[in-house]
Chain A
Amino acid sequence: MAIYLDYAASVPISAEVLATFTEALQTVGNPSSTHSLGQGSRMMLEDAREQIALAVGCDRSEVIFTAGGTESDNLAIKGLFWKRRGENPARNVIVSTYMEHHAVIDPIEWLEAHEGAEVAWIGVSDEGVIELAALESFLAARGSEVALITMMWANNEVGVINDIKAVTALAVKHGIPVHSDAIAAFGHVPIDFKSSGLSALSISAHKVAGPVGVGALILSRAETLTPLVHGGGQERSMRSGTMNAPGAKAFAHAASLAVANMSKHNSHTRALVERLREGIESTISGARFSRGSASAMTHNAHFTFEGLKSDGLLFLLDQADIAVSAGSACQAGVDRPSHVLLAMGRSEDEANSCLRITVGLQTTEAEIERFLQVLPTAVAAARSANPT
């Protein structure tokens, strides 16, 4: 039986959510149809919207359902940039950090290449914490040129939690909307959209034990954006396309459970990660806990191992039926040096030697012990496969 320690990549759908989802899939009717069946689907969708609003502390009208986290990020970044720059051509700068997920970095770089946007990447500390002083001085100098700031709530690779309120406090002085990718953070840290000062926030269902292919962009009612998808004008005309009511319902159920179980989840995973850290640091030399003492999500243990490349280590662990990752999952199945570690000032060799272990409510102590038993041998073999 395989040991799954890659919860940050995707959390297995829970039995309860699966039951909700499969039942909902049998519903007849398009939520936009005016007949009674259609109204039934619409009710399912709106109930889900309300539950999501409760889970993230926003108005129900602020929830825009999407087909996943990447779409939410693209909609927020391109949509807000186009809207803002359209209103004021002087605002052509996007501010972010290189700690972001590619779902954020790539749309920004696309806007830079195709739309003439200017990008300011704010530095992070060696523990992965945003350099707020650098952000503050950049905004003091060029705040009036900034169209948008986007900074993730918590990092998906190393687990560091950012001080989003501090970011929005700086942005508000210059009238800049702030988007936050909270896809990794949702379900792990309390999120209250209203008090966050954010204009937009992205979340995704499969990171909280919901189905893949469902997400949401929380967009402040005070904010509008230029839509990416045009059609029937659904979702406040921000995201056209027939609404996925069953997906939304399953997402809402999963989100509610994640929020309700957050403290139980966090104390369970904190204990497992403490054991992991202690076990690894006491048995393997040259292992470095990536985020140091930075504030972080409890379920994430990210290490670099001197003298090896992740692909060899992942191969050996997979052969031992242990599923872990080097960072975020990637299209071609090739592990590239982690851009997050590079942003934290680590060398390319270090950024090629990552191991991310992420656990969940279902992870058992026995699984962690089994992993700790296998790891030292695997690290030794991976090191011998990487002669210097």
Chain B
Amino acid sequence: MKVLAAMSGGVDSAVAAARAVEAGHEVVGVHLALSRMPGTLRTGSRGCCTIEDSMDAQRAANILGIPYYVWDFSEKFKEEVVDDFIAEYEAGRTPNPCMRCNERIKFAALLEKALALGFDAVCTGHYATILTGDDGELELHRSNAYAKDQSYVLGVLTTKELKHAYFPIGASASKDDIRAEASARGLAVANKPDSYDICFIPEGDTQDWLADKLGEKEGEIVDRSGNVLGQHSGAHGFTIGQRKGLNIGRPAADGKPRFVLEIRPKTNQVVVGSHAALAVTELAGSRFTWCGSEPKDATTWFEADVQVRAHADAVPCMAAVVDGEIVMKLRDPLMGVAPGQTAVLYVGTRVLGQATIDRTVSALSVEAETIGA
């Protein structure tokens, strides 16, 4: 088939492209230009749209003997990912921009363009596996390289997108194997460091970057009963579960530390409380998609595992669609889950779907916390 290999300039996408070539596909390398003001060189682990990355991708494509192009998605990226990231924080939520990029750019805008230009599939260096289920439908599964597994950020893929997605290194045992393979293939990116940070925040300091975009706006720090405990200089500077830097001076009545429980953008309030109140037992979201074929009757409670961060373990839950919202009742409470985060549902290794968390239910009622205090 005719494969478009999305090449970031990193080692994973280079080896993925190499394997696609080796599998006999007709492969074209494409680097996505996502930044309107590309820096010229990488700084540390950041940046996926620098000229250096583009050159690295081009060198890899040259070595593989495949054509190479740079496609500009910077405008779309700004609208769909960067602006959304800012708006989500402004609304008191904690978004995952990589997920959003997969959903709106790599497996949407890029895939659509690729299909229109005559390609059959988009190949990336993600660690995840596509299998055919018993019903003959495609399923997305975790990678064998569990430590590197990226099925979480691909949870947004729909059946149609799975049909055209190709992850040649998804079943690899480890990242070390991929680096060794890159080296054996003569790809100069073999020892390039992994990137971890958000690519469009060049200094790596999200709070600083957000303060710059959203400005500082003083507000109240309150407890769950509404008592004002102090002031803050901008609600977006806080994340759920944060303990340090609250500057609320006097200790709680029980002498125990307090944590950020909630951010209320409408009133510009930051709600704090005890560690126990940080635990949530239920997650729910009305914006959800199924990955591959959907459950026969999703309105009946079923067993699943739910993962709320890219690098977290999945925890058991009971899930069901109730009144247009997917509700996940956790067997054991999770600490510090923020609205805006994505909950990805798994059954075994299979990704069942995902939801953006709109609301959570605390393990500790307001009354109980007040009595405890």
Contacts and interface: CB of A to CB of B under 8 A. Distances in A.
Interface of A: 309, 311-312, 314-316, 318-319, 331-336, 381-382, 384-387
28 contacts: A309-B72, A311-B69, A312-B116, A312-B117, A314-B69, A315-B69, A315-B117, A316-B117, A316-B118, A318-B67, A319-B28, A331-B51, A332-B33, A332-B38, A332-B51, A332-B54, A332-B70, A333-B31, A333-B54, A333-B58, A333-B69, A334-B38, A334-B70, A335-B72, A336-B72, A385-B116, A385-B117, A386-B116
Contacts of B116: 312, 381, 384-386
A334 B33 contact: yes
Interface in B18-72: 28, 31, 33, 38, 51, 54, 58, 67, 69-72
Interface of B: 28, 31, 33, 38, 51, 54, 58, 67, 69-72, 112-113, 116-118
A386 B67 CA distance: 21
Contacts, number: 47
A311 B31 CA distance: 12
A387 B38 contact: no
Nearest to A383: B116
B118 A311 contact: no
Contacts of A384: 116
Contacts of B51: 331-332
A206 to B, nearest CB: 22
A334 B117 contact: no
- By Cβ-Cβ distance, the 9 closest A-B pairs, closest first, are A385-B116, A333-B70, A334-B33, A384-B116, A385-B113, A334-B70, A334-B72, A385-B117, A332-B51
A316 B51 CA distance: 24
A252 B33 CA distance: 40
Contacts of A381: 116-118
Given A311-B71, A385-B116, 17 more contacts: A311-B72, A312-B117, A315-B117, A318-B67, A319-B28, A319-B67, A332-B51, A332-B54, A333-B54, A333-B58, A333-B70, A334-B72, A382-B117, A385-B112, A385-B113, A386-B116, A387-B112
A381 B118 CA distance: 8
B58 A312 contact: no
Nearest to B70: A333
Given A331-B51, A332-B54, A333-B54, A312 B113 contact: yes
A169 B112 CA distance: 55
A28 B186 CA distance: 39
A319 B58 CA distance: 17
Nearest to A331: B51
Q: Which of B58, B67, B72 neighbours the largest number of chain A CB atoms within 10 Å of its CB? A: B72
Contacts of A312: 113, 116-117
